[in-house]
Structure 1
Amino acid sequence: MSALMWGQGKGKGVAGPALFSLPLSFDHFVLPRMLRRPVRILARLGEGEFQPPRFSAAIMSAVLIASSGAYGAYLGGHADGIVQSITARTGFAVDQVKVVGNRQTSEIDILDRLELDGWTSLIGFDAEAARERIATLPWIEVAAVRKVYPHTLEVRVEERQAFALWQQGSDLSVIEKDGAVIAPFSGGKQVLLPLLIGAGAPAKAPEFLAKIEKYPDLATRIRGYVRVGDRRWDLKLDNGITVKLPEDGEDQALAELVGMDHDKGLLSRDIAAVDMRLSDRLVVQLTPEAATQREAALNEKPKMLKRKPETKI
């Protein structure tokens, strides 16, 4: 304690403690406990009493160079690259990727969003940034990226649910039930989706298609749902017949249509259209061939009557 009590018990003219030959004379001053040992070592070093370990200068120089290099890399924005390079070559390079939950999205597109270069370290890999990039893919609704040490990435995705195809002019898109466009039509199993045509069709389609589902036999024959003037629907059937439904009373019109087809085979005849827009009547339009045949038959009927021999009494 006497060595740390500077100026105590000393008479006038007695030299006080010195650090590197610099006099320190603070009367009645005691250093804090945490500083006593470092100051004592520095004082001994200044008086030549302390001998540093061998190679301490070389070690200190190496530490200084390394710290300077690390600080320079940090300032230059290269710290992440250095960490990636070192850890990738010590057994943490990503060499396996597991993708789960994708059906419409290709694994190639997902791998492209991960931005792996063959020497990407799992330690320095930014999983959150990769998740955000994957979430920008058209079909992806939810994405999660997880690191599985030492060298595996696991990607789990949930995709948006396709409801129908929507045609506007020459554009054909896959849409969700709320009408949001998912992606352009790309073929495959998407051809099995209901085809909606015309402006306003996506907004009205969920309710209308629920009505059609009550008549499975009719539903399987419909190839297109055309929204006309955003007021009513036309049904395009697989044999080319167009059914023009009324603006109001869709449920009753559908029930009558199915009933007439069941009883009289209406939708299997050689006709072009069934017009149900008028509440008090049903109009059937013949195909050009059927109209020609019907006209010929009507023209032939008077001739047949004239040729019929008169009956003598």
Structure 2
Amino acid sequence: MRTLIARRTPAQNSAPRDPAPSRLTYRAQRLWLTPLFRSLLRVGVPAFVIAGGLGLYASDPGNIQRLQDSVAEMRRSIEDRPEFRVTLMSIEGATPVLAEEVRATLALDFPVSSFDLDLLRLRDRVEEIRAVERAELRVRAGGELAVTITERRPAMIWQAREGVWIVDAGGERVAPLMARPQMTHLPVMSGDGANLAADEAMALFDVARPLGERLRGLVRMGERRWDVVLAEGPRILLPAEDPVTALERVLALHDAQELLDRDVLRVDLRDGERTVL
């Protein structure tokens, strides 16, 4: 009798494969699905590698010095380009005397790189000049430093304890009279604190314009009121309150009765109820 031996195929020898992932694979997949882990892996690790490399490079002082020298050379090569060179300065809005004072104050040695110009600091230096009310500085095309000046307009001469000054309509000092002798035609005021009431003085000078050359000037009395001084005529004592109206009243009396041509030493208007001669 023949004995038949049945052989098993490989498929029959192995058990069916489990399709579920292993525990390690499952945990790795769960970890990868975490946004923080993905961000750390994509950004944190490269950043750590770069920072570590930079730290290692910076630990050598020679590398730092070479880097600084390279940056300085690159900056200097840019600053020295012709389009960034300032070769001249123009001053607008200033008289020739003030323009020379501005040039002397800035004392710039041209040519100079526009990167080396601190325009705000230069503007402050220009505005420290008494005759300058406001200044504007800018670099124009063609290598020109343009300085635009708003000059204080001389309005009056103020005789003060410390000297004789030219002041503007607001009482700000412009220059000593000795520096601008051509301004002697301006109206004159004197006395302590006269510059603080310059606006009132300007109004009085405007009202007193019909007096012409007879008007010598105004004197500030006690830092509270004005006296009007005439070359030929009485001294007019104005009140502390509303002096412009009082002066207008005196001029009206002069037009009607020639008051200021009479043999009178003083016209006292300090009492608002009456005029005392």
Q: TM-score band, normalised by the shorter chain?
A: 0.5 to 0.7
Give 1:99 deviation, angstroms.
Answer: 1.0
The aligned residue for residue 143 of structure 1 is 135
Kindly tell me: are residues 230 and 146 of structure 1, through their superposed partners in 2, closer, same or farther at Cα, counting changes over 3 Å? Answer: closer
Aligned partners of 2:242 and 2:132: how far apart in 1? 39
Q: Residue in 2 aligned with 1:275? A: 267
Tell me: CA distance 1:171–1:73, structure 2 relative to 1, closer, same or farther (3 Å): farther
Shift of 1:199: 1.8
**Following the alignment from structure 1 to structure 2, what is the Cα–Cα distance between the partners of residues 160 and 104?**
14
Write out per-residue CA displacement over residues 94-149 of structure 1, whole angstroms, 9 at most, x where no aligned residue: 33322112138622222233332244234543333322322222222322222223
Q: 2 CA distance for matches of 1:128 and 1:205?
A: 31
Structure 2 matches for 1:224-239, cutoff 5 A? 224-239=217-232
Q: CA separation in 2, counterparts of 1:133 and 1:232?
A: 36
Q: 1:152-196: CA deviations, max 9, x gaps?
A: 211112223444332222522233444444443333454343322
Q: Which residue of 1 aligns with 2:118?
A: 126
Q: Secondary structure at the match of 2:137?
A: strand
Change (3 A) 1:148 1:260: closer
Higher relative contact order (CA 8 A, sep 6+): 2
Is residue 187–residue 205 contact of structure 2 (8 Å, CA) maintained in 1? Answer: no
Pick aligned residue for 2:163 from 166, 171, 192: 171
Any conservation in 2 of the 1:144–1:157 contact (CA below 8 Å)?
yes
The Cα shift of 1:200 comes to: 3.1
C-alpha deviation, 1:233, in angstroms: 2.1
Query: Distance between the aligned counterparts of 1:168 and 1:215, measured in 2?
Result: 22
| 1:162-201 pair list within 5 angstroms | 162-185=154-177, 186-188=179-181, 190-201=183-194
The alignment of Structure 1 onto Structure 2 pairs a total of residues equal to 215
Residue in 2 that maps onto 1:159:
151
Structure 1 residue runs without a partner (length 5+): 1-30, 36-63, 284-313
Cα 1:124–1:220 change in 2 (3 A) is: same
Query: What corresponds to 1:223 in structure 2?
Result: 216
In 1, Cα distance between equivalents of 2:196 and 2:230? 22
Gaps of 5+ in 2: 1-44, 50-61
RMSD, matched Cα = 4.2
- The one-letter code matched in structure 2 to 1:106 is L
Partner of residue 199, structure 2: 206
Q: Which has the higher helix share?
A: 2
The AA in structure 2 aligned to 1:237 is: L
**What secondary structure does 2:184 align onto?**
helix
Deviation, 1:224, is: 1.1
Identity of aligned residues (%): 24
Q: Distance in 1 between matches of 2:115 and 2:129?
A: 25
8 Å CA contact 1:83–1:124 kept in 2: the answer is no
Residue aligned with 2:86, SS: coil
Q: Distance in 2 between matches of 1:108 and 1:212?
A: 32
Q: Give the secondary structure class of the aligned counterpart of 2:159.
A: strand
The residue matched to 1:257 in structure 2 has which SS? Answer: helix
1:15-34 matched pairs, under 5 angstroms? none
Report the 3-state secondary structure (helix = DSSP H, G, I; strand = E; otherwise coil) of the residue aligned with 1:106: helix
Work out whether residues 113 and 133 of structure 1, in 8 Å CA contact, stay in contact via their aligned partners in 2: yes
User: For the structure 1 residues 211 and 173, does the alpha-carbon distance in structure 2 shift closer, same or farther, using more than 3 Å as the test?
Assistant: closer
TM-score (norm 1): 0.53
- Paired with 1:114 and 1:208, the residues of 2 have a C-alpha distance of 35
Matched residue SS, 1:199: coil
